[in-house]
Amino acid sequence: MDCVFCMILNGEIPSTRVFENDDFIIIHDIHPKARHHYLAIPKQHFKTLEEATKEQMKIVTNILTTIPKLEKTLDLTNGYRLIINQGEDAGQSVPHLHIHILGGEPLSEM
């Protein structure tokens, strides 16, 4: 499949994995928008929350419940922002659901 995140998951494209479990990985974003900018990427390919099956929504829940446990590991103890870009208007450039994790400094409002 011609999906950059599937290729990262397959090891075809290199990435810096900072966390991995059965459901998802967390890597460094290649173009960081904050001092710390990570991407949490499900191992299953689906584009948006609308498309997600019940099982895939459990993966999203797993991601959202795991991230707070990783605050120290990811150096985010002073707060962070989670973003899911969904579709064209949001500027989703990779059609494989992912959660941006931004922090490590005070973030601007946008």
Nearer to ligand AMP, 18 or 94 (CB): 94
Give exposure, 38-65, as e/b (b: 16+ Cβ within 10 Å). bbbbbebbbeeeeebeeebeebbebbee
Binding range to ligand AMP, per CB under 6 A, among 23-31, 44-52, 69-77, 101-109: 23-31
104 neighbors 76 (Cβ within 8 angstroms): yes
Question: Does residue number 9 form part of the binding site for ligand AMP (CB under 6 A)?
Answer: no
- Site for ligand AMP (CB under 6 A): which residue of 12, 31, 50, 69? 31
- Site for ligand AMP (CB under 6 A): which residue of 13, 49, 57, 82? 13
Map residue 25 onto helix, strand or coil: strand
